[in-house]
Amino acid sequence: MSKSKKVIIDLLAKAGIKVNGNEDWDIQVHNDKFYSSVISGGSLALGESYMKKWWDSKRLDLFFNKLLRAKIYDKMNLPLILHGFKAKFLNMQSRFRSRKVIDKHYDLSNELYESFLDPYNQYTCGYFDGTDDLNEAQVKKLELICKKLQLKKSDRVLDIGCGWGGFAKYAAEHYGCHVTGISISDEQIKYAKEYTKGLPVEIKKMDYRDLEGKFDKITVVGMIEHVGYKNYRKIMKVINKCLAEDGLFLLHTIGDNVSSTKCNPWMDKYIFPNGMLPSIKQIGKAYEKLLIMEDWHNFGPYYYNTLMAWDKNFRKNWTKFKKVYSEKFYRMWRYYLLSCAGAAKARHFQLWQIVFSKGKSDKVYQCVR
């Protein structure tokens, strides 16, 4: 047995994972290059070797759950050194670099996303409170946001990073308010404009740094993960400038348990270039002396339900895309969804909905759950 093979087998054993074992979370190694590759390339090589079919697991979500709970994944960190250096000294989410994730991920194909998302095309965590159904959970999430924002017909609402227009459509249809959605994705803008046609909704191609005007309510749902720690203060200043004196701002974001300045190398290379998750400390520093935090709600465990539902839909509809995308893409996409599902199950990251105001009212904010 090679030294690298022994190291990997011993590491995985500490997490209760057996190479060529019979449990759903065990891995089956098809190519012995896997061992030396992971030793030298860490978490990046783990993902790339899966894409190359060098190994498999019946349940990637459970494999990653066990790997992360045992903190074994943290030891596969060699590529993080250079990655962390870049994130520290460069603004990886500048105007120019912020386009990279759009070109790599969000402008892939509207049809691809429609195939595994709900009818409102919500690419963020659902609210699985009293339901196991993805579509119902996403409607519950949208309604939760509207209630937390205390939406009313006279409100002018700003949705920063509006995606395919799902929130804008829901808020305009159910509350009658006017919604302005902004995005820098051409594909999303094209889709959102058609999707919200006939409603009091305006969709604009715009970077958040260029925003002007005043709004009664503002949302940032699943977008600040692409803003970067060097720009958290900047986006909070923009929101503070655009928020009415008696307005409310809701931030819906995946949250990191620790303060970091970098993303997982595999995720950065293949899925979300230049992305990163904010921590409580980083968010706190960003809004200090600008806004007042009225409510902080964590429903991170629901991301496991969401990701598993997305994976199920993706598998079910894959035949529609087999001629467009390769098997390598298929394995990459499932690795992305299921590794994130395992991370959610292990509570490696959280999902926060945070409500802010300018603190101009004596009225106690009524928390909604």
> What are the Cα distances from residue 343, in Å, to 66, 71, 241, 307, 340?
9, 11, 36, 10, 5
Q: 146, 162, 177, 340: which is the annotated catalytic residue? A: 340
Distance CA 87, CA 243 (A): 30
136: phi then psi, degrees, rounded to nearest 5: -65, -40
Q: Rg for the chain (alpha carbons), in Å?
A: 21
Closest CA to 60 of 48, 70, 47, 71: 47
- Of the chain, the end-to-end C-alpha distance in Å amounts to 55
> What are the Cα distances from residue 206, in Å, to 162, 180, 240, 365?
11, 11, 18, 31
Given a contact cutoff of 8 angstroms between Cβ atoms, the answer to whether 64 and 335 are in contact is no
Please return the burial class of 329, using the count of CB atoms within 10 Å of its CB with bins 0-12, 13-18 and 19+: middle
340 an active-site residue?
A: yes
Given a contact cutoff of 8 angstroms between Cβ atoms, the answer to whether 277 and 225 are in contact is yes
Closest CA to 129 of 117, 118, 144: 144
Determine which helix (DSSP H) or strand (DSSP E) holds 123, and give its type and residue range: none
Distance CA 182, CA 227 (A): 14
Residues annotated catalytic, as ranges: 340
